[in-house]
């Protein structure tokens, strides 16, 4: 697939430009996530410059992960709504399963179809 594209915003706002490559998300050890005060060790940072830098890295990484996950939602929605499928999912059912409004589900289906078209148009890529 090509570079991630921002998903349609249910509020109708235009997505902002991508700033920089996000930091890699690292999973926290189970004992750290059990403590509600612990969040990627940010609470232990005393230098505000270091805290700002790391928190910004995490923010960008989570945004990129959310954008990528949303692309996969859109791809799945487009596939599930495909009229050529014998088990095609009705729009209302798809919206309910994804916890979307029907209008937003339709936008996501269209977004997914555009992603499918753009990925099949790239040389050397297959479905």
5-45: pLDDT as tens digits:
566 655 455 455 444 455 555 555 555 556 667 788 888 88
| Predicted pLDDT of residue 41 | 82
Contact call for residues 6 and 15 (beta carbons, < 8 A): yes
54-110: pLDDT as tens digits:
999 999 999 999 999 999 999 999 999 999 999 999 999 999 999 999 999 999 999
Q: What is the pTM of this model?
A: 0.62
Contact call for residues 10 and 104 (beta carbons, < 8 A): yes
Interatomic CA distance for residues 114 and 100, integer angstroms: 19
**CB count in 10 Å sphere of residue 3:** 5
Classify 125 as helix, strand or coil.
Answer: coil
């Amino acid at each position: 697939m090509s570079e991630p594209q921002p998903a349609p915003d249910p509020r109708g706002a235009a997505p902002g430009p991508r700033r920089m490559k996000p930091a890699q998300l690292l999973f926290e050890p189970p004992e750290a996530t059990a403590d509600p005060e612990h969040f990627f060790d940010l609470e232990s940072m005393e230098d505000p410059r270091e805290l700002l830098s790391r928190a910004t890295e995490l923010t960008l990484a989570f945004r990129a992960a959310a954008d990528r996950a949303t692309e996969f939602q859109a791809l799945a929605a487009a596939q599930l709504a495909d009229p050529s499928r014998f088990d095609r999912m009705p729009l209302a059912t798809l919206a309910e399963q994804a916890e979307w409004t029907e209008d937003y589900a339709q936008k996501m289906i269209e977004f997914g179809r555009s992603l499918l078209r753009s990925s099949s148009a790239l040389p050397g890529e297959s479905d």
